[in-house]
C-alpha cells in the first residue's frame, strides 16, 4: 500500500494533512490530537490539552532525565473507566433493563500500581471491581480500596492457598467471588470454607460453543483452556444442593477471547451465555451476576473493520447490543434480568500510555548516496549495463528497465560469487541499482495504478531509523503476534515528512524491528517520517497501555523504561506528578542470579593484575572502576553526554584521595528504597537505586 501522493508530494502540507496521514482522529478516540502548531497533544477532558513535546523537553532538558520513557496519563485511564460505565448505564436506561451493570478490571492487563489504583479510584462510585488470576494478583487486589459491592473475581486455576486467601477476603467485607474453572475446585473450596468458617460466594465458568474473532478466536469454543461443559455445570448445581449451599452460586462466567473485532460474534456469545444463565435459574440456582468476560476491542488502526487490529463497533454499540441481547433472552425465558458484568482490560488501559523513543541514527541502502557512480574504465559489462538502464529510464519504459535492472543485479551477484566481478564493481553496481529503484519510485509515485512488482519498492528503499528502545521490553506484542500500534512523530506535524522508514531497536537481535504500520486499507510497510535534523527527533507509540508493561522481557538485559505520570491542568498546562526511573543495569544483572559484590570483586582483582603488569596507570585504574560502578547503577538504554575531560577529572579527584579507589566506591543501596524530591526541585535525596520515585 503506497501513501497518498497528495499528502507526500504535492502542494502545501498542514496539520490536517498530518492528521489524515497518521489517522490520528480515527484511532485516538478523542484522547489525542494534532495541534495547530503541529504537535501531538493529549486531550483528557474539555478544555484540557498538553503537547507531548513540551513534557518531554521538560523531563530531558530541564530535569536531565534519559529516554526512552513512558508517558502515563491517569486522567485518560479514569476517563476510559467512566466512559465504559456510562455507556452501559445509557443502554440500561434506553431499554429499561431491570438489572444493572458492574465492570471488572482484569489486572493481568497491567498490574502497575499507578494503573490499578487509578482504575479502582475512578471506578469506586460505579462499584467497578478487579479480577485476579493468581495468588500474587489476589494479594494485590485485596489491598485496594474498593466499593463494598464491587466484585473481586478470582479466576484461573487455584490451590488451597489461593482459595484460603479469597475466603479471608470475604471476612474483610469484600465481594470476593471464587470462579470454579474445573470441577475439582468445588470440593476443595467447600473444604476450606468449612475449615475457616467462611461462607463462600461461587462463580462457575462455562465453555461457550460460540467463539470470538481476530487473533484470539481459537482461545474460545469447546477446546478452551478454562471452564466446564454443560454436564459439569449441572453437577456443580447438584453438589451445592447436596450441601444446602445452592444460594452461594451467584455468578455465571463466560469468555470468548480478547480483542473481539466483530460485534456479531459478541451478540452470538451473549445469547448463548444468557440462555445458559436461564437454564441454571431453571435448575434452581439463584444467580445474580452474568459475567460475559472480556473482549471489548481497541481500534488500533482506525479502520472500523473486522481486521485483527480494529473493531467494527463503538463502545456505545457494544453496550447496547450486550444489554439488548441479554434482556431479549431473559424476557423470553421469563427469568430475572441479572447484573451484567464485563471484564474489559485492553479497552480501559490501552489509551493512557505513550512510549516515547528518540531516533539516535539513520541508515539505509541509499541514505548517504545521492549521485549514482560512474563505471570505471575497466568495470565489468554488467555495471555498464546498469548505468545505461539508469540513463535511459523514462515513464514510458520504466517497467521494462526495472525488470532488466533486477536481472542485471542478480547477474552481478552471481559473477561476484564466482570471482569474475571485483568488490569495487559490486559496490558500483549496487549503487546504480538503487539509483534505478529511486528513479522508478519517483516515476510511479504519481500513477493511479501501480503494478504489483513495485509494491515492495517503498520498503526496499526505506531508511532504517534506529530508535533507543527495546522492542522485546516495551512492545513485545509487535514482535510476538504482529500487533499494530499507531506510531507518530510527536512534533513537526505541520511539516511534510520527506522520508519513508522502518524502525529498528538497539538490541542485538535481527527481530528487533518494526516493519508494519497502521493503514486504513491494509498494513503499510513503511512509516512517513521527517529528516531528523539538528534537534532531537522523537516518535510516540500510542495505545501501548495494555499488556506491554507486563509482557516485556529482559532481552539483552534492557530493563523497564522510565515513566512520567502527567496530569493536565489547563490549555497547554500540566503537572508531572510522579517520575519513576527505569531499571538499572545492576538490577537486571542481579535478576539473572549474579551478585553486585561478586562482580565488583572480580573487576577489582583484574584491575590489580593489570596494574602489576603495567597495563593500567593509577589514574586509569580509578577511571575504570568509577565507570564500571556508574554503569552498574546506570540506565540500561543508550545515554549520550557532552564530552568532558574524564581523565582530567579523574586526576583531580585522585590527588586528594589517599583511600584505595575500590573502597571509596559506596556500597549499593537497598533495592526497596526510593528517593523523594522537595517541592518543585529536581534534586533528590538518595535513599536507594531501584525505582526512584520523584514527586
Residues designated catalytic: 508
CB-based burial of residue 365 (10 Å sphere; 0-12 exposed, 13-18 middle, 19+ buried)? middle
Residue the block writes with cell 524530591 = 677
**Which grid cell is 170?**
470475604
Residue 422, helix vs strand vs coil: coil
> Beta strands 573-580 and 151-154: pairing type?
unpaired
Among 455, 476, 610, 608, residue whose Cα is nearest residue 526: 455
Q: Are 516 and 548 in contact (CB under 8 A)?
A: no
Spatial separation of the C-alpha atoms in residues 178 and 162, rounded to whole Å: 10
Among 147, 77, 196, 25, residue whose Cα is nearest residue 546: 77
Q: Using the 8-state DSSP alphabet, how is residue 581 labeled?
A: P
Q: Using the 8-state DSSP alphabet, how is residue 693 labeled?
A: E
Spatial separation of the C-alpha atoms in residues 570 and 156, rounded to whole Å: 43
Give kind and range of the element (H or E) at residue 623.
Answer: helix 618-632
Percentages of the chain per state (helix, strand, coil), in multiples of 5:
40, 15, 40
**Within 10 Å of residue 441's Cβ, how many Cβ atoms?**
18
Residue 83: partners with Cβ closer than 8 Å, 6 or more residues away: 315
Spatial separation of the C-alpha atoms in residues 282 and 233, rounded to whole Å: 13
How many CA atoms, within 13 angstroms, populate the side-chain half-sphere of residue 435? 22
Q: Using the 8-state DSSP alphabet, how is residue 656 labeled?
A: T
Spatial separation of the C-alpha atoms in residues 371 and 376, rounded to whole Å: 15
Among 634, 653, 636, residue whose Cα is nearest residue 645: 653
Q: Are 363 and 464 in contact (CB under 8 A)?
A: yes
Angle at 128 between CA 124 and CA 134, to 5 degrees: 115
Phi/psi region, residue 156 (left: phi>0; alpha: psi -120 to 50; beta: rest), is left
Residue 582, helix vs strand vs coil: coil
CB-based burial of residue 637 (10 Å sphere; 0-12 exposed, 13-18 middle, 19+ buried)? buried
Residue 313, helix vs strand vs coil: coil
Q: Are 505 and 467 in contact (CB under 8 A)?
A: yes
Q: Are 40 and 490 in contact (CB under 8 A)?
A: yes
Among 20, 80, 19, 15, residue whose Cα is nearest residue 45: 80
Spatial separation of the C-alpha atoms in residues 185 and 157, rounded to whole Å: 8
Spatial separation of the C-alpha atoms in residues 257 and 628, rounded to whole Å: 47
Residue the block writes with cell 471452564 = 227
Amino acid at each position: 500500500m503506497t501513501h497518498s501522493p497528495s499528502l507526500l508530494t504535492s502542494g502545501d502540507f498542514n496539520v490536517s494533512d498530518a492528521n489524515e496521514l497518521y489517522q490520528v482522529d480515527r484511532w485516538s478516540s478523542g484522547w489525542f490530537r494534532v495541534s495547530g502548531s503541529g504537535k501531538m497533544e493529549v486531550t483528557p477532558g474539555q478544555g484540557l490539552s498538553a503537547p507531548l513535546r513540551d513534557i518531554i523537553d521538560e523531563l530531558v532538558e530541564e530535569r536531565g532525565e534519559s529516554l526512552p520513557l513512558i508517558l502515563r496519563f491517569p486522567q485518560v485511564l479514569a476517563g476510559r473507566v467512566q466512559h465504559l460505565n456510562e455507556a452501559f448505564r445509557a443502554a440500561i436506561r434506553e431499554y429499561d433493563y431491570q438489572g444493572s451493570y458492574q465492570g471488572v478490571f482484569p489486572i493481568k492487563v497491567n498490574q502497575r500500581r499507578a494503573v490499578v489504583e487509578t482504575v479502582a479510584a475512578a471506578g469506586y462510585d460505579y462499584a467497578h471491581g478487579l479480577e485476579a488470576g493468581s495468588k500474587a494478583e489476589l494479594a494485590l487486589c485485596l489491598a485496594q480500596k474498593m466499593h463494598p459491592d464491587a466484585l473481586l473475581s478470582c479466576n484461573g486455576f487455584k490451590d488451597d492457598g489461593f482459595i484460603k486467601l479469597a475466603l479471608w477476603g470475604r471476612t474483610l467485607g469484600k465481594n470476593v467471588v471464587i470462579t470454579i474453572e474445573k470441577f475439582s475446585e468445588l470440593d476443595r473450596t467447600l473444604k476450606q470454607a468449612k475449615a475457616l468458617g467462611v461462607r463462600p460466594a461461587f462463580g462457575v465458568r462455562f465453555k461457550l460453543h460460540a467463539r470470538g474473532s481476530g487473533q484470539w478466536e481459537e482461545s474460545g469454543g469447546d477446546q478452551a483452556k478454562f471452564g466446564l461443559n454443560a454436564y459439569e455445570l449441572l453437577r456443580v448445581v447438584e453438589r451445592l444442593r447436596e450441601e444446602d449451599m445452592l444460594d452461594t452460586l451467584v455468578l455465571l462466567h463466560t469468555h470468548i477471547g480478547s480483542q473481539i473485532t466483530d460485534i456479531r460474534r459478541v451478540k452470538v456469545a451473549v445469547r448463548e451465555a444468557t440462555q445458559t444463565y436461564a437454564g441454571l435459574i431453571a435448575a434452581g440456582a439463584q444467580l445474580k451476576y452474568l459475567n460475559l468476560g472480556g473482549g471489548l476491542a481497541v481500534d488500533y488502526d482506525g479502520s472500523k473493520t473486522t481486521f485483527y487490529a480494529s473493531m467494527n463497533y463503538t463502545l456505545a454499540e457494544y453496550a447496547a447490543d450486550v444489554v439488548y441481547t441479554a434482556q431479549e433472552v431473559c424476557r423470553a425465558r421469563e427469568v430475572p434480568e441479572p447484573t451484567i458484568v464485563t471484564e474489559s482490560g485492553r479497552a480501559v488501559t490501552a489509551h493512557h500510555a505513550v512510549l516515547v523513543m528518540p531516533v539516535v541514527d539513520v541508515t539505509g541502502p541509499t541514505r548517504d548516496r545521492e549521485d549514482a557512480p560512474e563505471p570505471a574504465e575497466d568495470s565489468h559489462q554488467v555495471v555498464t549495463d546498469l548505468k545505461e538502464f539508469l540513463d535511459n529510464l523514462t515513464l514510458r519504459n520504466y517497467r521494462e528497465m526495472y525488470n532488466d535492472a533486477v536481472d542485471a543485479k542478480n547477474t552481478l551477484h552471481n559473477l561476484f560469487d564466482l570471482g569474475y566481478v571485483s568488490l569495487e564493481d559490486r559496490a558500483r553496481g549496487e549503487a546504480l541499482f538503487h539509483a534505478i529503484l529511486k528513479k522508478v519510485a519517483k516515476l510511479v509515485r504519481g500513477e493511479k495504478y501501480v503494478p504489483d512488482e513495485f509494491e515492495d519498492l517503498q520498503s526496499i528503499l526505506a531508511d532504517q531509523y534506529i530508535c533507543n528502545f527495546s522492542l522485546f521490553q516495551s512492545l513485545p506484542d509487535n514482535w510476538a503476534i504482529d500487533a499494530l500500534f499507531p506510531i507518530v512523530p510527536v512534533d513537526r506535524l505541520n511539516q511534510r515528512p520527506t522520508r519513508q522508514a522502518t524502525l529498528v531497536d538497539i538490541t542485538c537481535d535481527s527481530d528487533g524491528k518494526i516493519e508494519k504500520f497502521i493503514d486504513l486499507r491494509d498494513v503499510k510497510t513503511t512509516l512517513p517520517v521527517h529528516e531528523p535534523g539538528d534537534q532531537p527527533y522523537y516518535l510516540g507509540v500510542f495505545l501501548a497501555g495494555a499488556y506491554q508493561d507486563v509482557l516485556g522481557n529482559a532481552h539483552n538485559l534492557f530493563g523497564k523504561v522510565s515513566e512520567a505520570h502527567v496530569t493536565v491542568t489547563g490549555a497547554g498546562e500540566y503537572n508531572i506528578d510522579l517520575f519513576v526511573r527505569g531499571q538499572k543495569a545492576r538490577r537486571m544483572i542481579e535478576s539473572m542470579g549474579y551478585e553486585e559484590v561478586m562482580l565488583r570483586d572480580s573487576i577489582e582483582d583484574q584491575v590489580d593484575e593489570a596494574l602489576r603488569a603495567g597495563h593500567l596507570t593509577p589514574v586509569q585504574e580509578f577511571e575504570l572502576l568509577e565507570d564500571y560502578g556508574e554503569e552498574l547503577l546506570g540506565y540500561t538504554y543508550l545515554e549520550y553526554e557532552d564530552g568532558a575531560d574524564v581523565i582530567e577529572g579523574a586526576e583531580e579527584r585522585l590527588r586528594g584521595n589517599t583511600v584505595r579507589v575500590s573502597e571509596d566506591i559506596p556500597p549499593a543501596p537497598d533495592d526497596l528504597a526510593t528517593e523523594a524530591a522537595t517541592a518543585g526541585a529536581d534534586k533528590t535525596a538518595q535513599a536507594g537505586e531501584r525505582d526512584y520515585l520523584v514527586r
